[in-house]
Structure 1
């Protein structure tokens, strides 16, 4: 399936993920449509996670004095 997620910016993917969740929570979609939305949402969430991991790595490596600064991982929100 060519889902085009890799072409999205982080902000675009996050917005689509939020809209997908809202559609699923509305309860107005059919079972088949809900399954497709769920799969798309899983892909979007994984993509956003990868982009955040890359951004965190860059922040850890970029400091004014050239030293690597390790950031604390964000708290796990459930």
Structure 2
């Protein structure tokens, strides 16, 4: 059995779920200052990890597009939504 000292990073989805939980806890305003600071620090760390995951995914997409003869990513635009009543 191989044991590593480095814990694995959470997946993008796990990071987002934990960030959402942290935001909910902090919005309640019932946390002691030290715990609020710890959660804030964890939130910053998760935010950075998530940003890095998104950047890696974008790089992969750009590589795949280049392999298929596309030059760059195009801006995504939502189709016009029908007017709500």
Q: Name the TM-score class by shorter chain.
A: 0.7 to 0.9
Deviation string for 1:36-78 (max 9, x for gaps)? Answer: 000000000000000000001111111396224422578xxxx
Which has more helix, going by share of residues?
1
Deviation >4 Å, runs of 4+: none
Are residues 66 and 56 of structure 1, via their aligned partners in 2, closer, same or farther at CA, if it must alter by over 3 Å? same
Over 3 Å counting, the alpha-carbon distance change for 1:48 and 1:65 in structure 2 is closer
> How many residues were matched structurally?
70
Closer/same/farther in 2, CA of residues 36 and 73 from structure 1, 3 Å limit: farther
Unaligned runs of 5+ in 2: 1-6, 77-85
* 1:33 maps to which of 12, 32, 35: 35
TM-score normalized with structure 2 length = 0.71
Structure 1 unpaired stretches of 5+: none
The verdict on how the C-alpha distance between 1:57 and 1:68 changes in structure 2, with shifts beyond 3 A counting, is farther
